[in-house]
Amino acid sequence: MVRKKEMECACGKLGVQPPILLGFHDGMGMRTGVGEAFKQIRELTKILKEKIDSLNPAFIITFGPDGDTGHPDHRMIGNITTEIILKEGWDKKYPLYYVAWTKEQSDAIYPENLNYMNKQYLNVAVHVEDRHEAIAWRAIKCHKSQLTENEMDEWINLDKKDTSNTFYFRRFSVKKGVQKGF
């Protein structure tokens, strides 16, 4: 309930619709055993596939194999989303993009906690105006259960040093067909 309220607060600050929360817990039941985790992962996959198909998004943004910060839940949701796209053959219907950071951004913001990708793989760059970035900083302040006030301020101050105001993404793509050998 706390994290739900924080997400609603952040979405309100950003002026976007509240998130669709699917009701799964961090770690997908791994604390109670691998059987429970497998059960929850199957259920999440089913629900997420249905949600994607019913929403019919123009594109999907998720986490890549790096999981942004390496967080296991970030990696898992990105993997499950990618799995659905591949199983259903939806790579053209729902273009898939992964959040990505340059090494320079990672080093400047959170060198120990922010994964980065080699810049040659970052094929989408979105520039954000200063006024929009300031709105994002206000949204960060909603996440009081995840970050201390000092951590939020540190994050914002480090982010302010990156004056490029550019967010990067990697579009997922697959070469179709079968080649003979490696």
Query: Domain for residue 41, yes or no?
Result: yes
Q: Looking at 10-19, 52-61, 121-130, 155-164, which range is the least confident one?
A: 155-164
Residue 76 domain-assigned (yes or no): yes
Q: pTM score > 0.85 for this model?
A: yes
The pLDDT value given to residue 28: 67
Same domain for 92 and 112: yes
CA angle at 26 for the pair 24 and 32, rounded to the nearest 5°: 90
pLDDT-above-90 percentage for the chain: 54
- Give the pLDDT confidence of 41-72 residue by residue, as tens digits: 899 999 999 999 999 999 999 999 988 888 88
In this prediction, residue 34 has a pLDDT band, given cuts at 50, 70 and 90, of: confident
For residues 120 and 146, membership in a common domain is answered with: yes
Say whether both 99 and 29 belong to one domain. Answer: no
The number of folded domains in the chain is 2
In this structure, the answer to whether residues 35 and 84 fall within a common structural domain is no
Domain end call among 40, 56, 72: 56
Residue 4, in any domain of the structure: no
If asked whether residues 47 and 81 sit together in one domain, one would say no
Residues 129 and 159 occupy one common structural domain: yes
Domain that holds residue 35: 22-56
Q: For residue 43, what pLDDT is reported?
A: 92
Same domain, 47 and 77: no
Residues 50 and 136 both lie in one domain: no
Q: 91-96, long-range: CB within 8 Å, 24+ apart, which pairs?
A: 91/172, 91/173, 91/174, 94/52, 94/57, 94/59, 94/60, 95/58, 95/59, 95/60, 95/171, 95/172, 96/59, 96/60, 96/62, 96/171, 96/172
> pLDDT band at residue 30, thresholds of 50, 70 and 90?
low
